[in-house]
Amino acid sequence: MFTSSSFVSVLLFSYAATGVSGFTVTTQTDVRVKENEATDLTCQYSADFGSNARLEWKFKDTKGSQVYVVYDGKLTQPYASRVTLFSGSNLRFSKVTRKDNGEYSCEVSNANNQFGESTVRLTVLVPPSPPLCRIPTTITTGKTAILSCYDADGSPPPTYQWYKDGTLLPTDPTSLAAFRNFTYKMNAASGKLEFPRASKMDSGQYFCEAVNNAGPAQRCKAVKMEVRDLNTGGIVAGVIVALLLVALLVFGIWYANKKGYLPSEFSALYLNPSIYPPVLINILILICE
């Protein structure tokens, strides 16, 4: 005969065999809502916690900082002005902002130390803004060129794509035959476009686009990047001009000393030929002649 005691024994055996606990907490998994709109975060827990269960909501932002939204069944500041607690365990935001992005954990416990927790991720949808782009205007052939692109407003965080002369660059240049001669490296998540050894074929007009699913893509202003060969003639000319200026300075000191404008101690120190390189001495002789 199947008695009530044997039924309880079966339940206990089933519990021990499966390891299933009756203390459960349930929330949504992912909530997405536009900025400045209202939304609810729900939390349900099993009756096993009893009528005096303790409820807390915690918020962890995208940087890892954590605060209480509900502590010991009561809303904390500054949430009390824009969040209500309804049906005992659910949160209702009258208006969300991008600062509300993050994870919300509903924690339930009782006097017997039974504990349950569930987490929901809240994503506040914010369209991207025109990104901040840093694009060098001139690069020497063979040097590394780094272009950067960043938008701090978009949520979820935007991905980035680069254009050259109005043509979209693939993230991996080896994926398309038309770009296999290109040597750039692109990180779509960070917005970085790098040319490890820039060549003249990399010259062109560049701009970046920030993209997410909250609104239309936004781009920065196009900037021309020109890759040039090293100007050795200009460097040589600069060195010659610098030497002439130094020589003129030395000549000025020499002339002032010759006219007796300088004390003898100064002359002995600064007009000693051994402290000047021969090329300056030769230039000085030419000027004096």
- Residue 19, pLDDT score: 42
d(CA 245, CA 284): 11
- In Å, the largest CA–CA distance within the chain is 133
> Measured between alpha carbons, how far is residue 67 from residues 107, 116, 140 in Å?
13, 19, 51
Domain boundaries, the chain: 25-125, 132-228, 232-288
pLDDT 10s digit of each residue in the chain, 289 long? Answer: 333 333 333 333 333 333 445 789 999 999 999 999 999 999 999 999 998 899 999 999 999 999 999 998 899 998 999 999 999 999 999 999 999 999 999 999 999 989 999 999 999 999 999 999 999 999 999 999 999 999 999 999 999 999 999 999 999 999 999 998 999 999 999 999 999 999 999 999 999 999 999 999 999 999 999 999 976 666 666 777 777 787 777 667 666 666 666 566 555 555 555 555 555 555 555 555 5
CATH 1.20.140.10 for the 132-228 domain, yes or no: no
As a CATH number, domain 25-125 is: 2.60.40.10
Q: What residue has token string 């040597």?
A: 183
What is the pLDDT, as a whole number, of residue 23?
Answer: 86
Give the CA dihedral 75, 76, 80, 83, nearest 10 degrees.
-60
Same fold, 25-125 and 132-228: yes
127-148 burial by CB neighbour count: b if 16+ within 10 A, else e?
bbeebebebbeebeeeeebebb
92 three-state secondary structure: strand
Q: Please name which of 168, 191, 190 lies closest in space to residue 182, comparing C-alpha atoms.
A: 168
Q: pTM (2 decimals)?
A: 0.68
For 77, phi then psi, to 5°, come to -80, 145
